[in-house]
Every structure is written in structure tokens, then in C-alpha cells.
Amino acid sequence: MQKGIRTICFVGLCMALFCLFSAAPLYAKNEKPAKGGQAAKTVQGIKDYGAYVKLAKGYVRILPNIVFDESDIFFVESNNPPHYFLKDVEYFVIYGPHDMAVLTVNPMGFLQVSSIGKPRFAFGKPVDVDVKQQGKDMYIIKPKGLLGRGYYSIWINDTAWDFLLD
């Protein structure tokens, strides 16, 4: 008797899971993307202020890092920057109310180790870039030349978005 009840419960559970998983794609197919907002009109997938890298699979947000100034030397402390394959990077996007006159894209060079053991990296010579405005507060940044593999940052005022190209 218990074996029959277990079999019925198992079949019922399987049917419930099948109905649940088969209904989800039907719902998503009828769902329409939300309209509104400046970001939706300019570049699909960018909604929050910050820096993004355009890859073949879409836009990926780069987390910001703090720029330190010690004895007139500007540097960042490496905080596990994201890695991207050089062949996948198409361009960069900055979204937000930033002063684009002070924007630079810099290679990063090792400076020293901090007192707590974190590596510090100084900003190298800026890379020449083309900056094109794409809507309000959105800018597309493309290097004029080819980027090589290494550690880079996009730097505006006291914020740097650092990343590694492999």
C-alpha cells in the first residue's frame, strides 16, 4: 500500500515540475521589455551609472576603485579587478554625469606594496581614445590604436574602473 502511494506522489511531483518548467518559457515569450528611461533609449542593457565594457555577449559593468594621492603620486590598490579576453572587448561605455574633459584610459604599472600587503599600481601614459556622446550622460569610448594585454583603468577625477585584458 505504501509503495503505491509513493509512486503516485512521485508521478504527481514529476507532473507538477513539468508543468512549472514548461509554463516559464511561455510566460517569458509574451513578456515585453519595459520602456522608459534614457538608458533604454541609448544602449540596451545599461541602466545604472558607471563604466561598462562591451563584449560580444553584451555589456558587463566594471566595479569602481578609489584613486589615492600620496606625495603627488596617483595610484590604486588592486582589488581583484575583472579579467576580459582582449579579443572579446569591443569598446567601453561611461554612463553618468561625469566631466569627460578629464577622462583618461591608462595602463597601470606596479608602484609598491602597501603596509597591509596589497599591491599598488600607478597610472601610466594615457592611451589615445575617441569619445562619442550617445544620449544624455552616456559616452562610448574606443581606443584609437590597439590595446595590448595588461592592466588598465578608465580614470575620471577620483574614480578609476580597473580591469585586466588577457
- Same domain (yes/no): 14, 94: no
- Same domain (yes/no): 21, 70: no
- Same domain (yes/no): 92, 152: yes
- Same domain (yes/no): 48, 107: yes
- The pLDDT score that the predictor gives to residue 27 is 40
- The pLDDT score that the predictor gives to residue 1 is 63
- Same domain (yes/no): 42, 26: no
The count of domains in the chain is 2
- Same domain (yes/no): 94, 20: no
- The pLDDT score that the predictor gives to residue 14 is 58
- The pLDDT score that the predictor gives to residue 39 is 38
User: What is the chain's pLDDT, residue by residue, as a tens digit (166 residues)?
Assistant: 677 777 776 666 556 555 545 544 444 444 344 343 443 344 677 889 999 999 999 999 999 999 999 999 999 999 899 999 999 999 999 999 999 999 999 999 999 999 999 999 999 999 999 999 998 899 999 999 989 999 999 999 889 999 999 9
Half-sphere exposure of 92 (CA within 13 A, CB side): 25
Q: 18 lies in which domain range?
A: 1-31
- Same domain (yes/no): 108, 136: yes
- Same domain (yes/no): 26, 42: no
User: Of 154, 60, 51, 52, which is closest to residue 108 (Cα–Cα)?
Assistant: 154
pTM of the model: 0.71
What is d(CA 142, CA 133) in angstroms, rounded to the nearest whole number? 12
